[in-house]
Amino acid sequence: MTKIWTVGAIQAALARGDTTAVALAEQSLAAIAAQDGRFNAMLYLNPDLMEDARAIDRRRASGEAVGPLAGVPVLVKDTMDMAGLPSTGGWAPLSAKAGGTDLIPTRDSAVVARMRAAGALLIGKTNVPIMSASGTNANNSWAGPTLNAFAPDLAPGGSSAGSATGVAADYAVIGLAEETGGSIQNPAAAQNLVGIKPTFGLVPNSGVIPLAVSTRDVVGPVARTVRDAAIALDVLAGYTSADPKTIAGVGRRPLTGYAGSLMPGALRGKRLGLYGPGWRRDAPLSAGAEALYSESMETLRSLGAELVADPFAGSGFADLALIGPTGFDERGCESVVYDLERYLTAFGPGSAIRSIDSLKRVTGADPFDRAGVLGFMWDLPEFAHLVAHCAEPPDLSAFMALREAYLHLFNGVMEAADLDAMVMPQAQEETPPLFSTVPIRETAVSEINIAGLPGVTVPAGAYPSGSAFGLLFVGRMWSEGSLLAFAADYEAAR
């Protein structure tokens, strides 16, 4: 966009008559036309965008009530169904543009429907790595690699690379992102953005191509400011019968809303735990990360927070992780077979692809090929059986026992140390180069995704190289309101 907007600034400008939804849509399209030949964040533009914008302007002019995001440009991650546009998962067999077969939904995913109902201008769908299986980049997408708009020679963060790049490049104010193993917090931190990885079950993910929807997948926003991200979460969160697990979040949202929780002085008197080997063993911070973390600690102390060194030491929390060379603990992802079968079945008899078997038949490709991007899952217990019985619900008892163990230890330490949150660098070191085989080395991806805990990423400076440095606030389940308030207080002080 030619001007960097926030939700509040757009609402005020529209109310004064200083701009229109049509003008905002045109600005987004102009920014994409000028820059996306380089950044490659966009897969598809919304063909109805200008008519949608005109409809918002007509409603406003007639005095009709409009939603909280009326006229606000929003990007949709490719994996999220948007009626009439392909959902490819970054995979060539599901893209007619790449010689495959388009999978085109006839209705919106729950989160896209909520954005549409809130009046958002849905600009289009953004690039992802194949099946969202990379937390570092989108280099293997059928559409080609997405660049990092904040630092183009560095990895953009995955798998929500396109949504983050689009927001960082000012195509839109909000990007819809999704996380199974870092895919919200990694691109947010790598591109100097705010990201909300919500509690598992707070936001529906029905109508979203799954990686582990039964166990780990969550949808959340990326934005330039904490307030914009909080406003987006107010729209996204809440129960829907389309995703029964969201019943768990009923009564858990702040009465004032997430944006209404952002009060000055939120960090005063709060106790925050710090990163250390008690949280994750054998994963020290680089010297550069330590230096930036120390600067952030001074800011937190100046805001009245009390910092507690490595409160998880001796708790056994770090012993729960099984983190391999890539830095990822994939347990729970075996549910992808059953989850993908259910996702495809929802397309119904009008679709040529409505099951894993029909997907294989129509495309001539197997998403679970041992040599493919999901081949690592064959090391998970019972994965071979699940592939052979796609419609059979997986036995998740071992995973749920692991989640309970994580939550028991996390809650126990938080209570014993009287902590309001944890705060840590989002990554242990600088973002790796764009085409490097080195992954982003996060501090809290597997832990909070397995446990189902929320995390809020907020910009916190940059390394001398120009790589962004982000802080991650982590709290108990359903504590997004507090985490966002802490992040906003820190953001305001920088």
Active site residues: 77, 159, 183
Within 13 Å, how many C-alpha atoms sit on residue 323's CB side?
A: 23
